[in-house]
Copies of this chain bind each other. A is one copy, B any other.
Amino acid sequence: MSAPVGRARDAVARPLPRATVDRLPRYLRALDELETRGIVTASSMTVSAAAGVGSAQLRKDLSFLGSHGRRGVGYDVTHLRGRIAAALGVTSRQRVVIVGIGNLGHALANYAGFGERGFSVVGLVDVDPEVVGNRVSGLVVRHLDELERLVDELGATIAVLAVPASAAQRVCDRVVAAGVGGVLSFSSGELAVPRGVDLRTVDVGAELQILAFHGHRRQSPGA
């Protein structure tokens, strides 16, 4: 409640533009790669090339996080990596529940990237009696009835929805009511979430249609 000691030092709590936040994961991955390659110090050119953006863009984005480079030298890879991880909030491992253990949910549950990128899959949920009770990637699949209890007991902050579009809104409402603050949906429909809850949608069909647009433009640039 009480917000004491407003230390206005190096970062004046700039608001971090949305577009910048969307790029931070790329930078984090690029820095991981450089670190793995044993590179200790890197210029904005080096990092931005690894991340696939322009160097001015990178420097501008980083400037919102405060000043962490050395002029004439570049950035300390490990230090910068830490700053970005802190900004993203992936220093303490976030807990994820996956709802819907069909083909896609199964693939996600086995996806090693979760661990590498700072997340722990702590719960798997489905409704199908054929699936409930199975062990997938070291976890037993629980029934949807237990969703609220699981989210609460496991302290999940993020839910991944890999359920049919027809069920997505209902499941979404339940995970939100259970207290998660972020939802990643793989269904194509629009989902409504209350203010304060963050929703992101991955729509494979939409991605393909965007590719289709550019493809057919290539063939018939006129009409």
Q: Which residues of A approach B to under 8 Å, CB–CB?
A: 3, 6, 13, 21-22, 24-26, 28-30, 33, 50-52, 87-90, 94, 96, 102-104, 106-108, 110-111, 113-114, 116-119, 157-158, 160, 181-184, 188-190, 196, 198, 200, 202-218, 222-223
Contact = CB atoms under 8 A, between A and B. Distances in A.
Given A107-B104, A158-B208, A21 B213 contact: yes
Contacts of A29: 188-189, 205-206
* Copy count, this protein chain: 2
Nearest to A106: B103
Contacts of A114: 205, 208
A25 B203 contact: yes
Contacts of A33: 189
B107 A213 contact: no
10 contacts: A21-B213, A25-B210, A28-B209, A88-B210, A102-B107, A111-B204, A114-B205, A114-B208, A118-B209, A158-B208
A51 B22 CA distance: 22
Given A21-B213, A25-B209, A158-B212, 7 more contacts: A29-B189, A89-B215, A103-B107, A106-B107, A119-B212, A184-B204, A198-B214
A188 B113 contact: yes
Contacts of A52: 190
Contacts of A102: 107
Contacts of A113: 188, 204-205
3 cross-chain pairs, A with B, having the tightest CB-CB distances, nearest first:
A89-B216, A182-B211, A103-B107
A176 to B, nearest CB: 13
Nearest to A211: B182
Contact of A217 (B25, B89, B104, B210): B89
Given A110-B103, A196-B218, A222-B13, A90 B212 contact: yes
